[in-house]
Amino acid sequence: MSIASFIRKYGLLLSSLVTVAFAVGIAGFRVSENLGLAELQRTGTQRLELYATSLNRQIDKYAYFPATLGLERDVIDLVAHGKPLTDTVNRYLEQLNQRAGTLSIYLLDRQGHVIAASNWNRPDSFIGEDLSYRSYFHESMQGRPGRLFGIGTTRGQPGYYLSSPLLAHGEVIGVAAVKVSLEQLEQSWATVEVPVIVTDQNGVVILASAPSWKFTTLRPLPDQERRRLERSLQYNARPLPSLGLTREEPFGENAALVRLAPQVDVVGSSRLSGNFLAQAAPMGDTGWSLTVLSPAGQVSAIAWTRAALASVASALVGIVLVLLDQRRRHLRDRLRAREALQRAHDELERKVEERTRTLRAAQDELVHAAKLATVGQISAGLAHEINQPLAALRTLSGNAVKFLRRGDVATAESNLDRIGSIVDGLGTLTNQLKSFARKSSGTSGPVDVRRAVDNALFLLDQRLRRANVAVSTEIEAEQVTALCDANRLEQVMVNLVANALDAIEGTASPTLRLHGWREGTRVVIEVRDNGPGLPEHVRAHLFEPFFTTKESNRGLGLGLAISLEIVHHFGGMLTGANHPKGGAVFTVTLPAADIGETPWATTSRS
Ligand code: ADP
């Protein structure tokens, strides 16, 4: 099959299969991706809670730290009255800072100036610095705890500022502040499995499991906002670039699919780029937000694999269904073809039967016609046969009248007896001829072969006698019986004997031998003459219709053809051959009738 015809035949089927496989693939991808993302979201939520809890715990550790400073008598005295205690408090703060592991601890007066600090003896000491611009100072001056993530202006060190008002007689007299390093807070994340970031209220990443993400922004900052932050010195003039996070599509509550572009200048950032499921949660009262980024690339990869598998499986199922359907059609077509063949066969059988019937009828007509032709030939001889008795009858009857006149009744009586027997003889002859000429049915029955042969000889008796033929018949009466039709067998015998008579015409001592015997389940009849026999060219055409070597008024060439047909009809055979001692011998073989099946009847040549 050429490619073009293949496409013509299966094109539509193939494109349907591809469409179905494609649709199944897309559906499979969607379902698998959604299931994968839902699973990712579940574990992401658990992680989010875990990280938030541990970070909150870390922050809470320092929550009351600044407030405890207000309980210290020296601290309050210093803030309330100034100088004399500065040294003592500075040392106290220094020790406290060391013990707590914080970055710095310091006290501000009402104006926001640092009046004591843990780093009092360092060159970059905060002492004397004006921190009134810090938001936590304002918060605490209003009696509330202050919280701020920021980068120190002195050393540029990032940290988490916690502040608390210092009270005397119910009045805020100053502010105590503690700065905690980011590293301390990040300790809780030493072993995080997925990227985590914490953004402050400005959307700036202040804590991140990837160090390069720190001091980037989740969204590009508008210029106005950027200027404001620069003025506040909160991030100490850091450039605050964008993290490169783009939001692809939301996924349920507090989650979204995001894409993280690889950072050009950061080694190994490719691991931290691609598609992520971002889940965020606010961090208590800090104003911060914790975001967990679960890598979604694998979910997509798995979903693609499953989609491909679903596609292939659906295509396979489709192909199997198509093949099954084709097989079913093929079987159905075969069944139909078989039925059509059966119908055609039945019809053919019927026609053959019909034609056989017609043929048989035609054949019967032919056989009968041939028989009538034979009767015609026989009749010519019979005319002579009848003329003689008629002449004898005339003489006898005339003499009888004379004898009666003379009163010689005895002689007249004897004449009349002879007349009676001559008339009987004529009756027998005409009866015989009539019986031969009758149209036979051709139905099978046991036939005494001897009688059939005798009848045939009787019909040709006149010719036999005239030609002075020595006839010998070796067939036991009522012992050799064939299964056929008596009339038809007689017809065959008349044909064979008549042919023999034609052949021996002019022979010195014409002889005709008729021999019949039983051989197993068959009966054999031989008709042998001492004529010239069958030359080769005659033997080759012996049984052909209209083959004759005789003059036109003596033979039609149908005798042997009809005889063969008759014998075949009864399941027998007819052959013609030359006898070794000269002359022709014709052999008829017919099925033997069951009756007469006696041990001696089955011996050959009885
Ligand atoms: P027809 O007798 O009308 O010629 P047949 O079919 O009976 O037709 O015989 C065909 C031919 O077979 C005969 O013409 C004759 O030549 C040959 N034939 C038949 N019987 C004999 C016989 N006994 N001896 C020699 N020839 C024979």
381 belongs to a structural domain: no
Same domain, 124 and 163: yes
Tell me: do 469 and 518 sit in the same domain.
Answer: yes
Q: Does residue 600 carry a pLDDT above 70?
A: no
Instruction: Report yes or no on 289 lying in a domain.
Output: yes
Establish if 426 belongs to a structural domain: no
Q: What is the pLDDT of residue 598?
A: 45
Distance 500 CA to ligand 1 centre (A): 8
Bridging pattern class, strands 445-448 and 470-474: unpaired
Q: Which atom of ligand 1 is nearest to the CA of 556?
A: 3
From first CA to last CA, the distance across the chain in angstroms is: 75
Closest C-alpha among 365, 284, 392 to residue 54: 284
Pairwise CA distance, residues 146 & 153, whole Å: 18
Domain enclosing residue 226, as ranges: 184-295
Least confident of 170-184, 334-348, 459-473: 170-184
Say whether both 139 and 237 belong to one domain.
Answer: no
What CATH number does residue 91 fall under?
3.30.450.20
Both 166 and 188 in one domain: the answer is no
C-alpha to C-alpha distances, 278 to 49, 250, 413, nearest whole angstrom: 14, 9, 154
Q: What is the pLDDT of residues 145-163, one digit of tens each?
A: 888 887 777 777 778 889 9
Nearest atom in ligand 1 to the alpha carbon of residue 555 is 3
How far, in Å, is the centroid of ligand 1 from the Cα of 454? 21
From ligand 1's centre to the CA of 494, what distance in Å?
13
Test site for ligand 1: of 526, 554, 560, most ligand atoms within 8 A of the Cβ = 560
Q: How confident is the model at residue 301 (pLDDT cuts 50, 70, 90)?
A: confident
Give the C-alpha distances (Å, rounded to integers) separating 315 from 17, 143, 308, 322, 453.
6, 73, 10, 10, 86
Predicted TM-score (pTM) above 0.75: no
Domain count, the chain: 3
Query: Residues 195, 121: one domain?
Result: no
Residues 197 and 163 reside in one and the same domain: no
DSSP run (H or E) holding 317: helix 297-406
Q: What is the pLDDT of residues 191-235, one digit of tens each?
A: 667 888 888 888 888 888 887 888 888 888 888 888 888 887 778
Q: What is the mean pLDDT of residues 367-396?
A: 82
Task: Identify whether residues 127 and 224 lie together within a single domain.
Answer: no
Nearest atom within ligand 1 for CA of residue 531: 24
Predicted local confidence at residue 184, as pLDDT: 66
- Amino acid residing at 571: G
Residues 210 and 248 placed together within one structural domain of the fold: yes
pLDDT in tens, 110-141: 899 999 999 888 888 888 889 888 889 999 99
Neighbours of 194 (CB within 10 A): 16
Give the whole-number percent of the chain exceeding pLDDT 90. 39
Q: Pick from 231, 262, 295: which residue ends a domain?
A: 295
Q: Which of 166, 181, 196 is the last residue of a domain?
A: 181
Q: Which residues, judged by CB distance below 6 Å to any ligand atom, belong to the binding site of ligand 1?
A: 495, 499-500, 503, 529, 531, 534, 538, 542, 547-550, 555-557, 559-561, 584
Most trustworthy range by pLDDT among 35-49, 109-123, 522-536: 522-536
Q: For residue 386, is it within any domain?
A: no
Residues 232, 194 share a domain: yes
Residue-wise pLDDT tens digits, 7-33: 777 788 888 888 988 999 999 888 988
* Domain's final residue, options 295, 320, 343: 295
Residue 447: inside a domain:
yes
Gap from CA of 525 to ligand 1 centroid (Å)? 18
What does the mean pLDDT of the chain come to?
86
For 173, 247, 385, the CA distances from 241, given in Å and listed in that order, are 40, 17, 150
Residue 548 Cα to ligand 1 midpoint, Å, equals 6
Q: What is the CATH number of the domain that holds 592?
A: 3.30.565.10
> What confidence tens digit (pLDDT) does each residue in 169-192 have?
888 999 999 998 877 667 666 666
- Do 117 and 239 lie in a common domain? no
599 and 451 within one domain = yes
Q: Look at ligand 1, atom 14, and give the residue with the nearest C-alpha.
A: 548
200 with 155, same domain: the answer is no
DSSP 166-221: EEETTEEEEEEEEEEEHHHHHGGGTT-SS-EEEE-TTSBEEEESSGGGTT-BSSPP
pLDDT band at 605 (very low <50, low <70, confident <90, very high): very low
260 vs 522: which has the higher pLDDT: 522
